[in-house]
Structure 1
Amino acid sequence: MEGLMDLGRTDMDPSRRSVLGAGLFSVALTVPGWQEIMGRAEAVQSGRTSRVGRPEVDMVTAMTERISELDDQFGGRHARPMAASFIVNTVSPFLRADAPDDVRKDMLSAASDLCYLTGYMAVDEGLQGLAQQYYLKALELAGAAEDHLTYCTTLRGMSVQAVDLGHGPQALRLADAAAAASPQAGPRMRAFLSGQQAHAAARTGDRRSAFTHLKDAETAMEKAESQAKIFGSYDPTALSYATSQVRYELGDLSGAIRAMAEADRLREPVYRRIRVLRRAMLAERQLRLGHLEEASATWHSALDEYPHVQSGRVDDRIRTMASLIRPHRRNRAARELHDRARTVAPAVLRV
C-alpha cells in the first residue's frame, strides 16, 4: 500500500513529471507469479481505520469506467493524473479500511483494474518505466483479490507494451504466462490472450506458432460472438488488428493493410484515440506499398480528429507522418497533407 501511495503521489505531481519520464522499460523486470503474490497478500497486516462496503466498491468501479471512457475519447495525457489522484486520495484509504472479506476482495480487484488502466495510460504517454510499476501493482492487487481475470489481463498488457517496444521474446513470455494463468477462461478471453500470443510469436519470427495462435483466437472469437457481448470487451475489431500485426511482422504488407482497414471499418465511434492512432499506422503501411494518394487520404482522416486527442503515441505518429511525407511534397496530395499537418499540429511539428 505504501508503494502504491508513493507511485500515485509522484504521478499526480507536475513537478515530478521529468523524473517519471526518465524511467526506462526494463526487459529484466521480475514479474511476480500468482502463488508468490498470494503469499504476500496473506502476510499483509493493514492498519484499519474505517469500514467500507459495497457502495465504495461500486464507486471505484464506476470511476474507473469513466476514466477509461475519457482515455478512449481524448487520450491519457490529462486522464492519468486524475486517476493517480483518485488512487492516492480515495482508493488507498479504502484498501486500508476494514471490510467484510468479500467486499475487501472486490475492492482489491477494483483497485487492480484502476492500476492496470493507469499503467495503460502511462504507455500511451510514452512513460514506459512508470507503466511497468503500475502494472506490477495491478498484478499484486489482483493476486490479493484472487482475481485471475485482471491478473491475466495485466500480463497481456505488459506483453503488448513489450512487443510494441520491439522486445519479442519478453512479449512472448508474458503472453504465454497470461494464457497459462487463465486455464478456465471463456471464449472471448481466450481470443484476447491468443491474439496477443500470435502477435508476440510473429515478432520473434515464429510463423508456425503465430498462425496457430491466430487460428485459436479466430475460433474462440466465433464462439464468443454467438454469446452475449459486453461493450468494450475483446471483439472482431481487436482481432482484425492482431491479424494485421501478425501479417506485418511476417512480411505480408498487403494482408496487413487489408486487416487494418477492416479493423478501422468495424471500430466503434467512441474509440477516438485508438482510431487516430491506427489510421496513422495504416497510412504508413499504405505508403510503404507505394500508394501515396491513398496514404495521404488516410492521414487526412486521422488529422480530422487529431485536435481532440491528447496522446503521446498519437503525437509520435504525426511526427512520423511529417517525416515520411516530406520527400514527396512535389506530389499535390502529399503537399496538401504536409501543409495541413503544419496547421493542425504546430506544437508537435514545431512550426
Structure 2
Amino acid sequence: MGAAVRQPNQLLADALERSRMSKGELARRVHARAMASGHRHINPDATAVRRWVNGQELRHPLPGLIADVFSDHFGRRTTTYDLGLGKSPDLDRPLTYSSSWAVTVESVTELGRADMDRRKFLAASPFAAAAGIGPSRDWLLSTLDQEPRPGPRVRLEDVTSVQNMFEAFQDTDVMQGGGSGRLVLTQYMNEHVYPLLRRTYSDEVRRALCAAAAEQTYLLGWMAFDDGEHGTAQRYLIQALRLAEESQDAALGAHVLAGMADQATLTGNPSEGRRLAQAGRHGLARANSRACLADLWALEARALAVMGDKTATAQAVSASERAFARVDHSTEPVWAKFIDAAYLHGEHANAFRDLHQADDAAEHARQSIQHAQAQGRARRGAMSQAALAVTHLQRGDLDAAHSAGVKTLALARRVKSSRAIEAVQDVGRRMVPFGAHPLVADFNERTRVLQAA
C-alpha cells in the first residue's frame, strides 16, 4: 500500500497569512524562541515552514514554540490546536511553577483559553497530588526579576478596572456557587486581563497587575474547585501562586496556598493539605492578614482531623479562633471578605465532625448556619446544615438528621455548586446504617430529584 496522502495544514496557513509574516520571518522567530527556551538544536528555515504548512507532522517542542510565536505576534493566546498542530493544548505546562515570566504568561493564558472553550479533556484532567510540592517551595524561596515584553503600555487605570471587577465575580461565587459565573469570568480573563500581561508597564503597575490577575486566576480555580473539576482548579491555583509571587504580595500568595491546601485535603491528601497550609503560614511572616492566618489554621485543622489527630486539631482550631478574634476587615484585602464567622465556624464544624466529636461539631455548625442565614449564603448554609445532620447521625438521632438534611437539600437547590451536592450525598451515605427506614427512603428520593434537576 502507498503512503498516506499528507493534508495541507490550512489553519497554520491562515494564521501565517493573517500575521503577514513571511515564511522566513516565522522561521527566524521560532529559532529565537527556541534559543530562549534552551532548544538550541531547533533552527528552521523558510523551506521547513513550507513543509509545516504542507502538513508535516511536528514533534515536541516545535508545535508549542510555533504557538508561542503567534501568541506574541497577535497579542492573545494562540494554541497548538488553533494552528492545526495538536488535538489539545499542553495541559501539563500549567502544573509547572516556572521561574520564567514568559512561560508563566503562556501557561495561564493557554489554560484560560482551553477552559473558555470548555474542552472535555480539560474538565477530565486529573488532580496530581504531588504537583503542589514544588510551587509552595518555590513561592517561599524565589525572588524573580523577569522583564515584561514590549507592547502598548498598561496604566494603573487599566489595573483598577480589573480590580473593580473582582469583587463582583467573588460575590457571584459566594452567593450563587462556582458553576454560576465561571464561564463569564473565564471569558473576561481571556479577553481583558491575560492580554495585559503581554504588554509593558512600570514596576508599580506590574506588581498591581500581577496581583489583580492572581486574584482572579485564583477565583477561577476556586470556581472550578467548587464545580468539581479538580484538575482544572489545580492548574489555575498553581499559576495564581506564580502570579502572586510576581506581585510581591505575600498575603495573596498565602491565600492561594490556602485554596491548594483545602483542595488537597478534600481530594484525599490531608498530609499534603497540612503542608501547604503550613507553607502559607510561613509566608505570612512577610505580611499581615489575620483573616488569611485564621483560614490557614482552620484548613490545617481540617487536614489534621482527617488524619485523626484530635489534640493537634483542637490546637489548630483554637489558633484559628485567636487569629480571627483580631481581624479588622476594614484593613483586609477584598479577597478576605468572606473569611468570616459563617465560613470559619463551618470549617471548624467539619473538622470536629471528621473526628466524630458531635457536640463540638454541632455547636460550630449552628453558629455557621446562623451567620450564613443572615447573609443569605446558601452554599455555606447547605454545607453547615449537612455537617449538623451528620452530628445527629453520629448521636443516632435519625429524625433530627433528616430535618437538617432536608434543609441542606433546600439550600443546595439555590446554588450551582458540586460541593453542596456532595454534602447532600455525604449525608445520604451516612444514613445507610439506618437501613430501609421511611426517613432514609424519603431523603434518598429528595436527593434523586435534586440530582436529576
Match of 1:67 in 2: 169
Match of 2:415 in 1: 309
Higher relative contact order by CA 8 Å / sep ≥ 6: 1 or 2?
1
Q: Deviations over 1:110-155 (max 9, x none)?
A: 0000011111111112211111110111111011110111100011
Q: Which of residues 87, 99, 117 is equivalent to 2:189?
A: 87
Q: Is the 8 A contact 1:264 1:275 kept in 2?
A: yes
Extract unaligned runs of 5+ from structure 1.
none
Match of 1:266 in 2: 371
Q: Which of residues 313, 318, 333 is equivalent to 1:210?
A: 313
Q: Does 1:293 align with 2:399?
A: yes
Match of 1:284 in 2: 390
User: Residue type matched to 2:110 in 1?
Assistant: D
Within 1, Cα distance between the matches of 2:441 and 2:379? 25
Q: Does 1:196 align with 2:299?
A: yes
Q: TM-score, normalised by structure 1?
A: 0.87
User: Residue type matched to 1:242 in 2?
Assistant: E
Q: Which of residues 250, 254, 259 is equivalent to 1:157?
A: 259
Q: Is the 8 A contact 1:202 1:210 kept in 2?
A: yes
Q: Is the 8 A contact 1:37 1:140 kept in 2?
A: no
Matches within 5 A, 1:45-194: 45-183=147-285, 184-194=287-297
Q: 1:207 Cα shift? A: 3.2
* Number of positions where the alignment pairs a residue of Structure 1 with one of Structure 2: 341
Q: Which of residues 218, 221, 243 is equivalent to 2:324?
A: 221
User: Residue type matched to 1:213 in 2?
Assistant: A
Q: Which of residues 335, 338, 348 is equivalent to 1:243?
A: 348
Q: Deviations over 1:304-338 (max 9, x none)?
A: 2333211222223334445555765543x545444
Q: Is the 8 A contact 1:329 1:338 kept in 2?
A: no
**Distance 1:187-1:21 versus aligned 2 partners, 3 A rule:** closer
**Distance 1:307-1:209 versus aligned 2 partners, 3 A rule:** closer
**Distance 1:133-1:87 versus aligned 2 partners, 3 A rule:** same
Match of 1:9 in 2: 113
User: Residue type matched to 1:208 in 2?
Assistant: T
Q: Is the 8 A contact 1:37 1:144 kept in 2?
A: no
Q: 1:287 Cα shift? A: 2.3
User: Residue type matched to 1:202 in 2?
Assistant: A
Larger radius of gyration: 2
**Distance 1:255-1:178 versus aligned 2 partners, 3 A rule:** same
Within 2, Cα distance between the matches of 1:75 and 1:334? 27
User: Residue type matched to 2:340 in 1?
Assistant: D
Within 1, Cα distance between the matches of 2:288 and 2:304? 21
Q: 1:109 Cα shift? A: 0.1
Which segment is superposed worse, 235-244 or 146-155?
Answer: 235-244
**Distance 1:226-1:146 versus aligned 2 partners, 3 A rule:** closer
Q: Does 1:254 align with 2:359?
A: yes
**Distance 1:191-1:315 versus aligned 2 partners, 3 A rule:** closer
Within 1, Cα distance between the matches of 2:273 and 2:428? 30
Identity of aligned residues (%): 26
SS at match of 1:51: coil
Q: Is the 8 A contact 1:75 1:124 kept in 2?
A: yes
Match of 1:34 in 2: 139
**Distance 1:306-1:233 versus aligned 2 partners, 3 A rule:** closer
**Distance 1:130-1:227 versus aligned 2 partners, 3 A rule:** closer
Match of 2:43 in 1: none
**Distance 1:174-1:101 versus aligned 2 partners, 3 A rule:** same
Q: 1:186 Cα shift? A: 4.0
Q: 1:172 Cα shift? A: 1.0
Q: 1:285 Cα shift? A: 3.3
Q: 1:226 Cα shift? A: 10
Within 1, Cα distance between the matches of 2:281 and 2:165? 28
Q: 1:20 Cα shift? A: 1.9
**Distance 1:252-1:99 versus aligned 2 partners, 3 A rule:** same
SS at match of 1:50: coil
Which segment is superposed worse, 290-299 or 206-215?
Answer: 206-215
Which segment is superposed worse, 25-34 or 314-323?
Answer: 314-323
Q: TM-score, normalised by structure 2?
A: 0.69
**Distance 1:323-1:170 versus aligned 2 partners, 3 A rule:** closer
